[in-house]
A and B are shown apart, each in its own frame.
Chain A
Amino acid sequence: MATTETFRCMMCGHEYQEQVERGEDKERSCPKCRSNSIRHLRGAGKK
């Protein structure tokens, strides 16, 4: 089951949402600046 989660880049401040599968093991990087400092803020709902 996928959920929509909110992430914030701690380098550039870019905030974005992404579908996350349960148990997903994925390296995250900011879609804007490619930094790996991605903070998981909160879930926005199930899909």
Chain B
Amino acid sequence: MTQPDEYQMGLSSRKAIYIPFPQAVPCSYILDMEHCLGNNPIACGKCQDVCEKQAINYDDADEVITREVGAIIVAIGLDVYDPTEMDEYGYTRYDNVITSMEFERLICAGGPTAGHFVRPGDSQRPKRIGFVQCVGSRNPKIGRPWCSNICCMNTVKDTLLLADHYPDVENVVYYQDIRAFGKSFEDMFQRSKEAGTRYVRGLPGDVEENPTNGNLLVTVENTTSGKLERHELDMLVLSVGVEPPKDLAKISGLLTLSKTSDGFLMESHPKLKPVDAPTRGVYFAGFCESPKDIKDSVCQAGAAASRAGALLNAGKITIEAITSQIDAESCTKCGVCARVCPYGAIQWKKGEVAVVIEAACAGCGACGAACQFGSITMRHFTDAQLVAQVRAIMAEKPKEKVMVFACNWCSYAGGDMAGISRIQYPATNRVMRTMCSARVSEDMVLEAFRVGAPIVLVSGCHYADCHYINANRQTVQRVQRLWNKLEKAGVRPERLQLEWISAAEGQKFAQVMKQMEELRQTVTDEEIAHAMEALKPKPKKKPKPKAEPAAAAAP
């Protein structure tokens, strides 16, 4: 029984019992039960016959092992881009177009050809080799705008390897930019050029095969000379990019992690906590966080291990002072709080009162704003405190003020940035800080209109910057509902605005404040009066008393 060897990129075969790769730890055989013939009933059993240690057990199966741990390091690696969709390079049509991963196996002494570099089409040694950079990287058209970080230096290394093994080989590298930014990388790049590698700025537009000899005709616009060039090559290597592993969604769901727009895991803070996940006790190492080379991966792994070690050895943990508390008596057991919590810090089962895991609660307040029954109290940011602030802000001359709810981490800091940058903006805004924009409940916004605010602005972090994983998505949904409510009540929904302002966007903060002031001047006294009246809370209906059971009522 033979199967394509995954480690050798399918360039050679393996048996159903095999060592995954030469450096495997532990260096022991594994059984590929999907292709083994010797199971239930035993049809082959040759491996069992020859194993003197009797180590082969066909009935052995995968099992789930539960462990209690204090910290988790996510280091699940990467996936390599499959260039099948980029048909212009002919990867699926021509034998002599290979990927950089396949190149690695072909030139490796432990590879399928024992390091004798031959092209797959006819097993002849190629003399002219082309490398195409950025295949599956820096290409927004195919949804991969990120730089894969490692491909440039990998190609430079490959050209040096070829020049060392086969001095007569001619190498051509087609590139957009060569990013040689690490220690000694620029030196390697210069050595590659000195070794005769030709670097052509421009990516091939078309690749055709000469059917008689299997050679490849590459058409490329050399953007340095502005000329169209045609090169005949023996082999073309596609320097494929990397992408987030396919299992990342499962892991991020399991550990309540968030992802950046390119699909890699988002760190807690890019500068101050680069290996920490937003969920406490979870750390990142390697590619799952962003594309990086071996050195950076090792650095990050060391940092993650140190962070985990510090947490585990501290003996105690400090929890947020701002956490939510659930009042068991008034809780209606609806479970909305558990659904909106980005950290999974609220435990709830149908028919049971929700419970906050205080060690996991980060204090965003999304649950407090979502609870319709006032059963959740956010320490230091209670509903009563926040509503009192709104009333106090609007106590005098409310018509001349813009009510601004700003999140602690970004928008409020954006206002600070505008201030320290001496950027001028109208003085009519009154900024009220909450930890997250998701803490701003519908009632707080409506209360602002009730007490005469002409304009209300809810502002928070940009999507990718949300300090509470993705709590600000709750803000969007809430504002959408509020726009509908305002419209229904005959209040111009434009009087409620939503903006994402980061801590660095002082300029944007000032610009938004100017826009709010312009908008404020369009709001008439009649509109304000109408909103104050129309949004008055309706008296709550008293629940009908439940009829006593007949048996109990009977004397």
Residues of A within 8 A of B (CB): 10-11, 13, 25-27, 35-40
CB-based contact B493/A39 at 8 Å:
yes
CB-based contact B483/A10 at 8 Å:
yes
Q: Which residues of A contact B498 (CB under 8 A)?
A: 10, 36-38
- Take A10-B493, A11-B497, A11-B515 as given contacts and tell me if A25 and B483 are in contact as well, using a CB distance cutoff of 8 Å: no
Q: Which residues of B contact A38 (CB under 8 A)?
A: 498
Q: Which residues of B contact A40 (CB under 8 A)?
A: 480
CB-based contact B463/A25 at 8 Å:
yes
- Per-position 1/0 for B466-483, Cβ under 8 A of A: 000010010000011001
Q: Which residues of B contact A37 (CB under 8 A)?
A: 479, 494, 496-499
CB-based contact B470/A10 at 8 Å:
no
The CA of A39 and the CA of B497, in the complex, are separated in Å by: 10
What are 8 pairs between A and B in contact, CB < 8 Å? A10-B483, A35-B515, A36-B498, A36-B500, A37-B496, A37-B498, A37-B499, A39-B493
| B530 at interface by CB-CB < 8 Å | no
The CA of A8 and the CA of B473, in the complex, are separated in Å by: 18
CB-based contact B496/A10 at 8 Å:
yes
The CA of A25 and the CA of B474, in the complex, are separated in Å by: 12
- Take A39-B480, A40-B480 as given contacts and tell me if A10 and B494 are in contact as well, using a CB distance cutoff of 8 Å: yes
The CA of A10 and the CA of B522, in the complex, are separated in Å by: 14
How close is A5's CB to chain B, nearest CB, in angstroms?
A: 12
How close is B61's CB to chain A, nearest CB, in angstroms?
A: 34
CB-based contact A27/B494 at 8 Å:
no
CB-based contact A27/B480 at 8 Å:
no
CB-based contact B499/A25 at 8 Å:
no
The CA of A20 and the CA of B464, in the complex, are separated in Å by: 18
The CA of A11 and the CA of B462, in the complex, are separated in Å by: 18
Which of A10, A13, A27 has a CB less than 8 Å from the CB of B463?
A27
The CA of A40 and the CA of B498, in the complex, are separated in Å by: 13
CB-based contact B500/A25 at 8 Å:
no
Considering the complex of A and B, which 4 residue pairs feature the smallest CB-CB distances, nearest first? A27-B463, A37-B498, A37-B497, A36-B499
A-B pairs under 8 A by CB, number: 36
Beyond A10-B498, A40-B480, 15 additional contacts (C-beta under 8 Å) are A10-B494, A10-B497, A11-B515, A25-B463, A25-B470, A25-B473, A27-B462, A27-B463, A35-B497, A35-B499, A36-B498, A36-B500, A37-B496, A37-B498, A39-B483
How close is B499's CB to chain A, nearest CB, in angstroms?
A: 5
- Per-position 1/0 for B128-147, Cβ under 8 A of A: 00000000000000000000
- Take A27-B500, A35-B499, A36-B500 as given contacts and tell me if A11 and B463 are in contact as well, using a CB distance cutoff of 8 Å: no
Q: Which residues of B contact A25 (CB under 8 A)?
A: 463, 470, 473
The CA of A10 and the CA of B482, in the complex, are separated in Å by: 13
Q: Which residues of A contact B462 (CB under 8 A)?
A: 27
How close is A21's CB to chain B, nearest CB, in angstroms?
A: 11
Which of B463, B480, B494, B515 has a CB less than 8 Å from the CB of A26?
B463
CB-based contact B500/A11 at 8 Å:
no
The CA of A19 and the CA of B494, in the complex, are separated in Å by: 24
Q: Which residues of B contact A13 (CB under 8 A)?
A: 494
The CA of A27 and the CA of B475, in the complex, are separated in Å by: 12
Q: Which residues of A contact B464 (CB under 8 A)?
A: 27
Q: Which residues of B contact A11 (CB under 8 A)?
A: 494, 497, 515, 519
How close is A1's CB to chain B, nearest CB, in angstroms?
A: 17
Name which residue of chain A comes closest to B477, CB basis.
A40
How close is B516's CB to chain A, nearest CB, in angstroms?
A: 10
- Per-position 1/0 for B515-546, Cβ under 8 A of A: 10001000000000000000000000000000
Among A35, A36, A38, the one with the most B-chain Cβ atoms within 10 Å of its Cβ is A36
How close is B366's CB to chain A, nearest CB, in angstroms?
A: 16
How close is B263's CB to chain A, nearest CB, in angstroms?
A: 11
The CA of A13 and the CA of B493, in the complex, are separated in Å by: 11
The CA of A15 and the CA of B332, in the complex, are separated in Å by: 40
Q: Which residues of A contact B483 (CB under 8 A)?
A: 10, 39
How close is B414's CB to chain A, nearest CB, in angstroms?
A: 13
Q: Which residues of A contact B500 (CB under 8 A)?
A: 27, 36
Q: Which residues of B contact A35 (CB under 8 A)?
A: 497, 499, 515
Name which residue of chain A comes closest to B483, CB basis.
A39
The CA of A11 and the CA of B522, in the complex, are separated in Å by: 12
Q: Which residues of A contact B479 (CB under 8 A)?
A: 37
The CA of A38 and the CA of B497, in the complex, are separated in Å by: 9
How close is A46's CB to chain B, nearest CB, in angstroms?
A: 21
The CA of A13 and the CA of B494, in the complex, are separated in Å by: 9
How close is B288's CB to chain A, nearest CB, in angstroms?
A: 18
The CA of A39 and the CA of B500, in the complex, are separated in Å by: 14
Among B462, B499, B519, the one with the most A-chain Cβ atoms within 10 Å of its Cβ is B499
